[in-house]
Structure 1
Amino acid sequence: MTVTEISAALRMPPAAPAEAAAFFAARLAFQADVSDVHASLESGAPGFVLIDSRGPRAWAQGRVPGAVHLPTAEIPARAADLLDPSTPVITYCWGPGCDGATRAALALSQLGYQVKEMIGGMEYWTREGFPVETPSGTSRRTPDPLVAPPGTPGCAC
């Protein structure tokens, strides 16, 4: 038996190392995870503007402190008034089951902005126990041990 007959995961063999390196480098050029975004914001000099692309009700329900509210549908009309074209932008929406951050990143990139998407969105921001701002203040939930082992910053990867 060959390895591919034994392993369902290897029915499609891995890409050549150079192709894999290009693919993974591209993913990192297009995406940032919530732990890295949080660490950058906490540094005081993140080097980007964080955009919450959700609608007004979701924004009011809770958001990443310091994020700019720019719903996807409003990007063409409002981006130039809110964003400096020389500053990179990172977008987020609800979470992995939502492509709102992807649509916002597309709209911003079509306008000439350098943009990345925060993978995991608000769902994983909250699950990792990072601060959430609401009209009544800022709070943190207990981190979900399945995504943020106790006593570590996120997955510490």
Structure 2
Amino acid sequence: MRARAVAATALSGALVLSLSGCALWMTPETSHPYDASDGVSLTMGELELRNVLVLSDDGETGSLIGTAVNTTGADIDFTLQWSVDGEYHEIDATAHAHGSTQFGSDDDEVILDPLGEQPGGLLDAVVHTSKDQSGLQIPVLDATLPEYADLLPAN
């Protein structure tokens, strides 16, 4: 009787280990951060940029889309800088205090002109704040997806 109890306990232990599979030594994929949409994100100190992308139909002019998050009590001014044919261009933006600021919507269109990157490419950019700077590769998309059709730069 005692041998059966020991065997049952050993079998139960082996069953638990085999059913847990890779979970014992593998990190679940859900624990890896990733950008769940078409854009990219950047955390730089107290400034967070989320789902940043550029929409363009010709690669010459683009509309910058995204959200800037700022949980501090003061506005954060930042600059996005990129190069076209060796010449640097930039736009200035502000992440308003205590919340999120969307840019690139119909009321607040942010135009990158000249853009210098065709749809399907990545725009090499640098984000500057008063305290830091960081590189960001922003995807350039066209209006193939219908949800982007109204967000292309106005001609």
TM-score by length of 1: 0.32
Q: Which has the larger strand fraction?
A: 2
Structure whose alpha-carbon radius of gyration is higher = 2
Q: Which has the larger helix fraction?
A: 1
